[in-house]
Amino acid sequence: MTVRQSCYSVPAKFIGAKVRVKLRANELLVFGGRKIVARHPRLTRRYTAHDILDHYLEILLVRPGAFAGASALAQARAEGTFTKTHEAFWAAAKAKCGDRDGTRPLIEVLLPHRELPAEPSSPG
C-alpha cells in the first residue's frame, strides 16, 4: 500500500481490502478493523518501500521459487530478522530437497512464528 508516496507491505489477506492507517512521527500502523495488522517504521523519503517478509509467506508458500529473490527477504536479512539460524535451516533443507522443495519447509516453519512470542518466556 502507498502512504505519502512511500510503500508499505500488508499481510497477504489484506491485499485489496480497506484498511485504516495511523501515521505517527516514527511509525505507521495499519488496522484491519480494530486490530493492528502491520507496524512499520515511518519512511521519510519519497518512493521508498518497507516490506515485512511475514506478509508474503502465504504467497511464497504457493510460489517457493520466488523466495530467494524476494525484496522482503533482502530487507529481513538487512534488519536481522532473517538470522543465521534461518539461513542454516534453509541451506540444510535445500541440500536435502533441492532449491524449490527445500524452501517450502522453511516457509512452513516461519508461518507459526506469527502466533509465538519473539522471545521465549521463562518457566514459572
Return the number of other C-beta atoms located less than 10 Å from residue 104's C-beta: 16
pLDDT digits (tens, 9 = 90+) for 53-93: 999 999 999 999 999 999 999 999 999 999 999 999 999 99
* Residues forming a β-bridge with 20: 31
Query: Would you say residue 123 has pLDDT above 70?
Result: no
Per-residue pLDDT tens over the stretch 4-56 = 999 999 999 999 999 999 999 999 999 999 999 999 999 999 999 999 999 99
